[in-house]
Structure 1
Amino acid sequence: MKVGLIEAPSSPMIPIIVAIALVVGSMLWRRTKTSKTNKTNPPLQKLKCRRIQGIPFQTTKESLIDELRKWLPAHQSHYHLTLARSSSSAFTATVNSFEIPDPESFLYTVDETFIGITPLFDSDEASIDIIAVPGLGNHSIGSFKAKDKDHVWIRDFLPKDIPSARILVYGYDTSIKNANAKHSIPDLAKSFLMELQTSQRPIIFVAHSLGGLLVKEALYLALRGRAQPHNNDFFRSSYALIFFGVPNLGLKNESLREIVNGQLNQQLIHDLHLDNESEPTPFLRELGQKFMQCCQEQAFQIISFYEQRMTKMVRVMENGQISKDGLFCYMVTRDSACRIDLGDNFHKEEPLDRDHSDLVKFSSQSDESYVKVLFRLKDLVENTPSAVENRFASTKNIGITYHGNMQWKIPRATNNLFTGRTELISRIQKALHCGPAASDEQKRFVITGLGGQGKSEICLQVASQMREEFWGVFWVNVSKASTAESDFITIAKLLGRSVESVSDALYVLASIKQPWLLILDNADDPNFDYQIYFPSGTHGAILMTSRVSECKEYSPEQFEALEGLGNEDSKELLLKAAHIPKESWRSYNDQAEIVVQLLGSHTLALTQAGAYIAKGRCQLHQYPQVYQRQRKRLMQFRPKQAQSRYHDVYATFEASAEVLEQSKSEAAKDALDLLAILSMLDSAVLPLKIFQSAWDGGRKVLRTSRKETNEIDAISRNHVLRLPGFLGAEGDEWDPFRLIEASSQLISLSLVMRHGVDGLVELSMHPLAHAWAKDRQDPEQQGVTWIAAGCVLTLSGPNPIMWQTQERRLLPHIQSYLDIKIGRVFLFGHESIVIPILLRCGWILLNMRQDTRLSHLLEDMFSKLSKHPEEPSKEFLPLYDLQAGSLLNIGKNKIAVALLQKIVKIQEITLAEDHPDRLASQHALARACQANGQVKEAVVLLQQVVKIRETTLAEDHPDRLNSQYELSIAYRANRQVKEAVILLQQVVKIRETTLAEDNPDRLNSQHELAIAYRANGQVKEAVVLLEQVVKIREAIQAEDHPHRLASQQALARAYRVNGQVKEAVALLQQVVKIRETTLAEDNPDRLNSQDALAMAYQANGQIKEAVALLEQVVKIRETIQAEDHPSRLTSQQVLARAYKANGQVKEAVALLEQVVRIMRSKFPKGHPSRVISEDWLSDLSQQT
């Protein structure tokens, strides 16, 4: 054994050595030459620590002090003397003294340099060695001495707190200024390794700054030289490392580079610094890779302490001396200090509230930082496992006995960013545990899921955490047959067998008696039988990863279909990857939440987003905007650290597409076509029923006349021919086989997910996979796909039941499909193809009440086609019909009336009076008139339309029923309530016998009948019917759907009239809240809801709330509506009533006088509305 590492007394337990390599980066310490002084001279300002070597083993501490007194000043009474064995026949001592004994007369060797190993404390019971190693420009003792004190914690505190430890310090020359030797880190590591050659004892290293690099290099040298027994013993003995500010990625101190420029140690300093782009130097990158090889070969427990205070940089003063009074900086950043790239089970991070120099300078045993360090040391010492003992024992008992992990073939270390998945990893460990009672069967677990979700990383975690349970852990990449074969042959060689085939290698593995774990990674080919890679027999454990969902069949009871990380874990991963300090996470929570939702909790995407932010490319809150602008570039961003197998997000998905592209089958081609169609829609759940509806629509088009038409909304044979091939559009019968096969291919590769309720098959995609599927197509391909997807939507439109019942599912798809510049889509095909698609999509938006989206679409279309939106032309009437419907829905009733009057006028010239299009326009005009307060005109128009349709259409024809429905609404508005009830009862009766209960037309009719009931005094009937309608609409429509809100509002009004005031208030508050967030403040629906809520407030005694809300409504109506508009007059009357209830009688009278004046000019004497207003004004006037 080398000096300093003598054998401890024999013990039934193997002694433990804790080698703490503490290398301090402090630049303050300067070695100064001390003059010899006489004993009578005045004492020096500071004591210095000296080393005394060559002390005979029989020397006592007392005899040594007696000898020292002959040479040290008489006034010195305290020595801080230590005495510890340095070999089997000699001691080494340290002493604090003002002077150094005369080397010519003193019996022993004395020095101040402390080069090599120096023991500081020892006892017969000691089973632990602690070795401290100072570093760059530091004295090996002074490095650990607190400022302005004589205490050296590794000498004075640690022996008391860990009495089972033998304390040693290791010193070496790392002078900064005027260095007279050319050292490199590998050179220093070789010397260090020579000093630390040991027998089979566990070792714990602790290193600060340069020392950590020295230890890492020494471990690699030992690994590389394992053929020599002493290197093998050293490597196997190494168990844990405690690092203090180790510059794994480099340090920052530019003045240091200036100081050493031209000196022999110039390269050493340059190797430690970050390069010009704040990246690690080539040396540090290489050292990191070397250390990862060590970690892959053997597990280490590592604790990284990092500085939280900035350090003053050193500089050279005019007198040539080094002074530490430069600018402040973080000498070693947290990222640099903690970049080990191991999982949480093997690597812990701890902050210390100190600068870089003071990380290992502790003033007392109660020092907070010392307490932290001591806790970690004790934890390691007290809980040191038997792993090292097993490592050595296993080499002696290689037969059946298992003594820890001996074979470790893993491609890379665990990722230090790994987050979450705790429950899953625990479940996998339980499934793979090879206990004695479970040795009768081979253990298996399969993980399937989308690329980039972390399947391989989970395997790395499982392998690392279960390492000591398995004699051998082996990893095989089965993505290709060639790589699988190579990996299996390598495994056989590791086991001492030379083979040439996979089957022979599997036989070798199956023959091993010790427990083993085999990881089969990347089993991603859906057409390959991976059973051939499973060793025979019941022994061992197998963990497989695959994108192919069917691979779960290899372990039907133990598998996991991996999805995104949980929300909190996703945010943690993002913030860790972005290098945002943990103490600041709470303040970034909302920003992180947005990014997590944007990226769909995709593990690799979150990691790369964090890396992008950490690089300073943008701030966290800016990432969503940058993503929207530069999605493709961001998803192809490749960080230099913590890379995945595929390097970037899109590459993980493209690997799956390559499987399909390499296949020549029809199903694979159809799968790619289906993938392209889905990319033009939304990533949300899509009912596959839409494809059958498109096929039905295509058949209807093909069966009609082949005569060409000039109508701009005509759906033609050309649209049918642009449907995707897997629909078989020209077949005589619907055959879903190719669609099912295509979707199955995508599902098997985890590119899409399958859902289904009540036999209805649905597909969805991860948002990032969906984005990739679109971005992978070039502009020309995107154009072809957009037309094909549009033809699916357009041709499925004639199936109103499918669109009505699946409205909530289909809405995001129509929105995403139209999320494109209209000018661009006209480049995709001829106007005869594009315009009908856009118009059909527009009508879908109209029916779904996507008012704002439709308004924007029409605005873009008018602009592109150079048409005036208020001046219709004959050839573009379908576009203007749609515009009129849009204007009505957004409350621009006056403009809608004017436009429809022009449309009707054109059609009266060109079409017969019973032509469906002419009747439809008159019907729409009547609706607009009614909405605009022109109720009488609406009644006259609708009576005319109904009369014609009743003579030309069957009684259950939808157009006839729609006209009767609209006429009944006009009757009610015109106070012809009984006529409205009779007509609506007739409509409802027919629709209840011909339509499903959730059909929108049936629900609309019931809704209006209930309102008519209420107006007719049949309040209970109204409540019952509306509760039924609301219940159905809440089940099938989104909470902000206008029809659902309208029915809830109608029910609330009925509740109020029925005396259920509190229920009315609660329901109306909900309706108003939604409409205030989705509609403009002057939207008629929003104003009507606020009117209704104010009336409910008044009925509930909340008069002040009613007045405030009504004043707001009336103010808006007086701005946007004519003074004789019915809705404006109604709101004014309701406000007048609220004024009266609030005691504001004068205000009430003034407002009613204005209303009565308008009523008298609008209605003849005796009209009910006029009479009611006049009577109420008369009564109110008498009260003033």
Structure 2
Amino acid sequence: MVAVNRNGFTLLGKEVARSKPPRWNIIFIHGLRGHPQNTWGRGSDESPDAEREPTPKPTSRLKTLFKRDKSQLRSDRSSSGPSSPQPRPFWPDEFIPHDIPEAIVWTYGYNSEVISGLFTPNNANSVFQHGRDLAGRFEREIKNEHPVIFVAHSLGGIILKEAIRKSQVCRSRTKLIIFLGTPHRGSRAASWGVTAAKLARLAFSPNITLVESLDVDSLALDTIHEEFINIVHDFQLQIHSFQEGRPMSTIPGHIEKIVDDFSSRLGLPQAFERVETLDADHKQMVKCTGREDDRYRTIRSVIQHFIHRPPVEASSAARITNMTTSLSLEAGAPRLDTTETDRVFFCIPFMLNSRFVGRDNILSKISTTLFTNNGYNRLALVGLGGIGKSQIAIQFAFWVEQNKPKVSVFWLSALSKASFEQSCREIVTQCDLRQSSATIDNDATILVQQYLTSKASGKWVLILDNVDDAQILGRPIHSFLPKSRGGLMLFTTRSQQIASDLATSEVIRIPEMSPAEAKGYLENSLSQKDLIKDEAATEALLRTLTHLPLAITQAAAFINSNSVSIARYLDLINQADGNMVELLSSEFQDETRYPESANAVVASWLVSFNRISETDTVATRFLSFLAWIEPKGIPQSIFPEESEIELCRAIGTLLGYGFLSQRKENGIYDMHSLVHLVTQTWNSNHGENSWTLRETMSQIIMVFPSIKWENREVWRQYLPHSLRALQNAATLDDEGTRLGHWIGKSLREDRRDQEAIEVLERVLQFRNEALAEDHPDRLASQHSLASAYQDNGQVKEAISLLEKVVFIESGLLAEDHPSRLSSQHALASAYQDNGQVKEAISLLEKVVFIESGLLAEDHPSRLSSQHALALAYNDDGQVKEAISLLEKVVFIKSDLLAEDHPSRLSSQHALALAYDDDGQVKKAISLLEKVVFIKSDLLAEDHPSRLASQHALAVAYKGNGQIKEAISLLEKAVSIRSDLAEDHPSRLSSQHALAVAYQDNGQVKEAISLLEKVVLIESNLAEDNPSRLSSQHALASAYDDDGQIKKAIKLQEQVVSIRQRTLAEDHPKRLASEENLKYFHQAYRQ
């Protein structure tokens, strides 16, 4: 047995008589806490002296570290492949020199006993230093000039990669590397730190404290990996990666692979890397029991196959023997024959995506377009980043392989110039296109173009993926495209313009996945399939992620690695926009995407944003603007002003990248909701937040129309965007309050009362702090908020604000100033709603008198005040005066306003109420049916104005004896108004009216139940409030019908007493109450 050096090189097989002259070197490198001999067979891995029984020492720490009980030993053996009672030969010395006599065999050792500093660059014991040591010793001690094959176990592979990175000599002589369980990269389930810790526990035991404080420089390790990948391509190295077939224990009770399958391979195309599994765990994969051991036979056959393969030059020469024609695309370019050949290649960098679902229609359209005789040989897939374009292309590539066996498939990545050139080098290598007159670095692109243009290439499909920059090669991509009758090209791009340039009309825009496809894709991506059973959470998550494949992949990666439920992930993503951005920004491993590509949704789209910012400044401005408004229903008229051509071009850019989509309605766009969220992040990263938000508000104010009914379609379109911009402002400034004031007025006009209050309160808060008490803007805001309060039934709050405004304006403005009159009108209206009818009439008569001398007969303000005065007259029992005034107003408005104008409908509604109170029920019904009909086409079912007219019509029906119709309408109104606050006047009014209709229909119990509830709630109103008295009057009547005479008399006496104090002797309501009370007394006496 040869004596093996613990450090440095040891020559093996010295005693073997060679049957062939040596022409190769094979060098074995062990891993962490391994040994240049024992790792590969004799003894245990941990110590060169392990074959001897150690001398027992009670205080020995080694005994503590390495002692195992029998059950643990049995467990290890049961999970580790062939067990150890059989001899374990030192096969690199005992077998390899005999079986591969043309090889000089070496084993290399280094100090792997110390863990501290192993994974940090500036440490004498680090893998980095070990790699430099290996490079130096190799250059000095391996003095023959034969090429080299390395066999490296575990961390020995990292040391080898560092040596190759540091040594030109090592790089140039290395031809094949066999990696056995080498951790090349952090994985989706285990970071570098986790993988390193598992290796350390395996070598040093799980209890050692050094494992817990292991310092791992992941960036430095990643750098080794990335540079090594480039060296593999540049020097055409061949890699064979063996993975662990069995798990083992590093922590008691926890069985796992030490280096998982993702980490133990480089992820290179098959032309460079072959991947196999050995049926053993991390330690046992380098052991064997004899020549017939499967592990030894497998590793030996890989070496023999490589050594004995035909030289590349010879095979290449044989294939081009019959070539008779050549062409040159550029001066000095290498020449290739154009004779047709039967060679078929499949050159793509990805495996088939097992998670892929659906997209059948798109795949069918691609195959039909390219493989039917319609003359089309180019097709482009265009769509949003992450929509699945590349995945569809991969699926199509494998479809071609299976269904078109005589058609080659080639794949080029256009992510960058470097990736494009790298793809060309891979094709050159796999197709053996390299010739002595060409250097692969400089001419790979030309070689591929030339080859695909020649007849020698036969029939092929070329997939150019991620063509998002038409100048990716430093010249137009068109200049590369080969011209061949047998060639078909499929492009994927985010840019509609590039798609159209490359494929003219043959462009397929990739849509979102269907709900079923998205659900299937999520299920395929989850490690715990049963999570999908939570259907509600699954559907909600997929809706939130807009069925975007990349977002679904990212969500599944988080769920898998963190063992959370779909509902928990949904909760995290919905807690705040910031959470969603953070989760969508997290990078993750995805073998179906390029290692250098941005896998996170946010990073993927930021690439597109940056591309737009480089090529289209107007589109960039539009992105900043759109970040602050609502993403859906964006009218073109709200965009910042540009020339028609610039506007068209910029919107076209955003449409082309899939960030905007156009609705069927002309000039209305939607922005993808996740893109909208990411755009805000992009704005933030560009430091443009405050400026862009202020500019957005200024832009909306500039285009916002006046709050007129004729403009309602426009301001309704603008409202969501205005609200979003205002909500984005943490604090308001002058610009924000101007916008807020307009928004509040619009919301009031649209009867979105609560929203109006929220906005107007915020505006008033700023103006109260910033402006003087008598500033017009502050007073205007108080007026607007008061009106919103009144609309929402908060009458007392409205009166409080308006009395203050009227008081200030009376000392500030002339008696006939429009603002002063408007505030007095508003206060009078609030008084009326509060039952202070006399005060309302007094104020309104004054306003009407002043306006009659100031304004034209058809002026809207004058008509509005007359309308309000008529309502007050009606409430005061002056029904004839009310009808007279309202008929005049309705007549003027019928000539002045459209049939569906709210002001005209409102006056008709009021006139119908007056007719009803005057006993002219038929007239009231006729007018109200017309109003209700128009409003049913014009307003939403729950619009307050529509409900008010239906309520009034129901009351009129009841007065006309149409009780069933009345109940039907009122039940619907009560149901809709149940969303209002319990004490909202409109809700109480409908409940009151329904109760009275129930009573008339003989449903007395239902009437009493409803009225008692109304009376209880209205007991918070003033004692003389008309609504409160009216409900008490109705309840007393219901008690009477139910035979509860004493209750009826007691309640009616309260009503009569108050109405006698507050109403004129001839007021209809006072008279009705007195008449009822008299009737109750008579009934009681009987």
Give the TM-score of the pair, scaled to structure 1.
0.59
8 Å contact from structure 1 (residues 1034, 1044) kept in 2: yes
1:263-274 pair list within 5 angstroms: none
1:34-49 pair list within 5 angstroms: none
8 Å contact from structure 2 (residues 409, 461) kept in 1: yes
How far apart are 1:1106 and its partner, in Å?
A: 4.1
Paired residues in the alignment total: 812
Letter in 2 for 1:783: S
Please say if 1:772 is aligned against 2:678.
yes
* Range with greater deviation from structure 2 (253-262 or 789-798): 253-262
How far apart are 1:1109 and its partner, in Å?
A: 3.4
How far apart are 1:338 and its partner, in Å?
A: 15
8 Å contact from structure 2 (residues 813, 820) kept in 1: yes
Aligned mates of 2:851, 2:362 — CA distance in 1: 69
Q: CA 1:262–1:630 in structure 2 vs 1: closer, same or farther (change >3 Å)?
A: closer
Letter in 1 for 2:388: G
How far apart are 1:683 and its partner, in Å?
A: 0.7
8 Å contact from structure 1 (residues 432, 542) kept in 2: no
**In structure 2, which of residues 1072, 1077, 1083 is the aligned counterpart of residue 1172 of structure 1?**
1072
**In structure 1, which of residues 689, 703, 728 is the aligned counterpart of residue 637 of structure 2?**
689
**In structure 2, which of residues 978, 981, 991 is the aligned counterpart of residue 1090 of structure 1?**
991
**In structure 2, which of residues 394, 408, 413 is the aligned counterpart of residue 472 of structure 1?**
408
Partner of residue 464, structure 2:
520
Partner of residue 855, structure 1:
757
Please say if 1:460 is aligned against 2:390.
no
Partner of residue 662, structure 2:
754
Please say if 1:1080 is aligned against 2:981.
yes
8 Å contact from structure 2 (residues 704, 718) kept in 1: no
Where 1:672 maps in the other structure, the secondary structure is helix
Please say if 1:790 is aligned against 2:697.
yes
Aligned mates of 1:315, 1:1066 — CA distance in 2: 75
How far apart are 1:1129 and its partner, in Å?
A: 2.1
Partner of residue 676, structure 1:
624
Partner of residue 114, structure 1:
none
Where 1:646 maps in the other structure, the secondary structure is coil
Question: 1:634-659 CA distances to partner (integer Å, 9 max, x unpaired)?
Answer: 33222234686422222232222222
8 Å contact from structure 1 (residues 136, 174) kept in 2: no
**In structure 2, which of residues 554, 563, 583 is the aligned counterpart of residue 608 of structure 1?**
554
How far apart are 1:768 and its partner, in Å?
A: 1.6
Partner of residue 562, structure 1:
510
How far apart are 1:1168 and its partner, in Å?
A: 0.6
Q: CA 1:439–1:1175 in structure 2 vs 1: closer, same or farther (change >3 Å)?
A: same
Q: CA 1:856–1:510 in structure 2 vs 1: closer, same or farther (change >3 Å)?
A: farther
Q: CA 1:871–1:447 in structure 2 vs 1: closer, same or farther (change >3 Å)?
A: same
Aligned mates of 1:253, 1:1101 — CA distance in 2: 82
Partner of residue 904, structure 1:
806
Partner of residue 107, structure 2:
none
Structure 2 residue runs without a partner (length 5+): 1-73, 100-153, 155-186, 233-244, 268-280, 282-318, 324-337, 435-442
Question: 1:751-806 CA distances to partner (integer Å, 9 max, x unpaired)?
Answer: 2222252xx41122111211222222239622222222222332334433575124
8 Å contact from structure 2 (residues 1015, 1032) kept in 1: yes
Partner of residue 410, structure 1:
348
How far apart are 1:810 and its partner, in Å?
A: 2.9
Please say if 1:970 is aligned against 2:863.
no
How far apart are 1:1023 and its partner, in Å?
A: 5.5
Aligned mates of 1:1009, 1:176 — CA distance in 2: 104
Where 1:474 maps in the other structure, the secondary structure is strand
Question: 1:163-187 CA distances to partner (integer Å, 9 max, x unpaired)?
Answer: xxxxxxxxx9533899957999xx9
Aligned mates of 1:765, 1:432 — CA distance in 2: 30
Where 1:776 maps in the other structure, the secondary structure is helix
1:417-496 pair list within 5 angstroms: 417-418=355-356, 420-428=357-365, 431-432=368-369, 434=371, 438-439=372-373, 441-442=375-376, 445-470=379-404, 471-478=407-414, 487=423, 491=427, 494-495=430-431
Partner of residue 547, structure 1:
494
Letter in 2 for 1:852: Q
Partner of residue 707, structure 2:
800
Aligned mates of 1:1055, 1:506 — CA distance in 2: 88
Partner of residue 603, structure 2:
651
Q: CA 1:624–1:987 in structure 2 vs 1: closer, same or farther (change >3 Å)?
A: farther
Letter in 1 for 2:348: I
How far apart are 1:537 and its partner, in Å?
A: 6.1
* Range with greater deviation from structure 2 (874-883 or 668-677): 874-883
Where 2:83 maps in the other structure, the secondary structure is coil
Letter in 2 for 1:521: D
Partner of residue 846, structure 2:
944
Q: CA 1:432–1:1147 in structure 2 vs 1: closer, same or farther (change >3 Å)?
A: farther
1:493-504 pair list within 5 angstroms: 494-495=430-431, 497=433
How far apart are 1:689 and its partner, in Å?
A: 3.0
Aligned mates of 2:626, 2:198 — CA distance in 1: 59
Q: CA 1:414–1:909 in structure 2 vs 1: closer, same or farther (change >3 Å)?
A: farther
How far apart are 1:916 and its partner, in Å?
A: 1.0
Where 1:819 maps in the other structure, the secondary structure is helix
Aligned mates of 1:509, 1:1016 — CA distance in 2: 94
Partner of residue 743, structure 2:
841
8 Å contact from structure 2 (residues 590, 599) kept in 1: no
* Range with greater deviation from structure 2 (636-645 or 1023-1032): 1023-1032
How far apart are 1:816 and its partner, in Å?
A: 1.2
Aligned mates of 1:624, 1:526 — CA distance in 2: 36
Aligned mates of 1:1170, 1:1154 — CA distance in 2: 12
Aligned mates of 1:983, 1:999 — CA distance in 2: 19
Letter in 2 for 1:840: W
How far apart are 1:910 and its partner, in Å?
A: 1.8
CA RMSD in angstroms comes to 5.3
8 Å contact from structure 1 (residues 627, 634) kept in 2: no
Aligned mates of 1:918, 1:975 — CA distance in 2: 28
Q: Percent identity?
A: 31
Partner of residue 1113, structure 1:
1014
Letter in 1 for 2:583: L
Question: 1:116-155 CA distances to partner (integer Å, 9 max, x unpaired)?
Answer: xxxxxxxxxxxxxxxxxxx99678xxx9xxxxxxxxxxxx
Q: CA 1:914–1:1069 in structure 2 vs 1: closer, same or farther (change >3 Å)?
A: same
Question: 1:257-304 CA distances to partner (integer Å, 9 max, x unpaired)?
Answer: 9997579xx9xxxx9x9x999x9xx99x999x99xx9xxxxxxxxxxx
Q: CA 1:1059–1:682 in structure 2 vs 1: closer, same or farther (change >3 Å)?
A: farther
Partner of residue 1055, structure 2:
1155
8 Å contact from structure 2 (residues 387, 548) kept in 1: yes
Partner of residue 40, structure 2:
none
Q: CA 1:518–1:1136 in structure 2 vs 1: closer, same or farther (change >3 Å)?
A: farther
Where 1:763 maps in the other structure, the secondary structure is strand
Please say if 1:1133 is aligned against 2:1033.
yes
Give the TM-score of the pair, scaled to structure 2.
0.64
Q: CA 1:1103–1:606 in structure 2 vs 1: closer, same or farther (change >3 Å)?
A: farther
How far apart are 1:1073 and its partner, in Å?
A: 4.1
Partner of residue 122, structure 2:
none
Question: 1:102-126 CA distances to partner (integer Å, 9 max, x unpaired)?
Answer: xxxxxxxxxxxxxxxxxxxxxxxxx
8 Å contact from structure 1 (residues 341, 413) kept in 2: no
8 Å contact from structure 2 (residues 707, 745) kept in 1: no
**In structure 1, which of residues 892, 895, 907 is the aligned counterpart of residue 797 of structure 2?**
895
How far apart are 1:1067 and its partner, in Å?
A: 5.0
Aligned mates of 2:932, 2:791 — CA distance in 1: 21
Aligned mates of 2:84, 2:1030 — CA distance in 1: 90
Aligned mates of 1:462, 1:749 — CA distance in 2: 23
Q: CA 1:444–1:875 in structure 2 vs 1: closer, same or farther (change >3 Å)?
A: closer
Partner of residue 452, structure 2:
508
**In structure 2, which of residues 653, 662, 683 is the aligned counterpart of residue 745 of structure 1?**
653
How far apart are 1:1139 and its partner, in Å?
A: 4.3
